[in-house]
């Protein structure tokens, strides 16, 4: 079986580390547009995230009811507004209000 390389990440902004302003964990983030964000969690980040740890273990995907960390979401939003996470030109959507 041949595994085809995924070239989608080669054509856009690179993944950049973003720390959570609440717990300090770091994830890798990439914006494809104002409305789309890719986040890569490693094991250390998953273990350190306070909201992830507070979710109920054993139920649902990701081992709990965890769907997103609001503190990390706000940290990413602020990193974008500060220019730390680049956002490619988005022809179909506007920048979020500051």
Share of the chain above pLDDT 90, in %: 47
Alpha carbon 56 to its chain centroid, in Å, reads: 21
Distance between CA atoms of residues 27 and 18, nearest Å: 6
pLDDT at 12 over 80: no
Span 36-75, pLDDT tens digits: 999 999 999 988 998 888 775 655 555 556 778 999 999 9
Distance between CA atoms of residues 73 and 55, nearest Å: 16
In degrees and rounded to multiples of 5, residue 53 shows phi and psi of: -65, -30
Beta strand 36-40 with 16-19: parallel, antiparallel or unpaired?
A: unpaired
> What is the pTM (predicted TM-score) of this model?
0.73
Q: Are 23 and 71 in contact (CB under 8 A)?
A: yes
Q: Closest by alpha carbon to 85, among 22, 20, 37?
A: 37
**Mean pLDDT along residues 15-30:** 95
């Amino acid at each position: 079986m041949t595994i085809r390389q995924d070239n989608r990440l080669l054509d856009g902004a690179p993944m950049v580390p973003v720390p959570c302003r609440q717990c300090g964990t770091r994830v890798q983030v990439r914006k494809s547009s104002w409305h789309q964000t890719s986040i890569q969690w490693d094991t250390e980040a998953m273990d350190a995230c306070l909201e992830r740890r507070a979710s109920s273990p054993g139920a649902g995907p990701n081992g709990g009811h965890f769907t997103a960390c609001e503190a990390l979401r706000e940290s990413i939003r602020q990193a974008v507004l500060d220019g730390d996470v680049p956002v490619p030109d988005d022809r179909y959507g506007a920048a979020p209000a500051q």
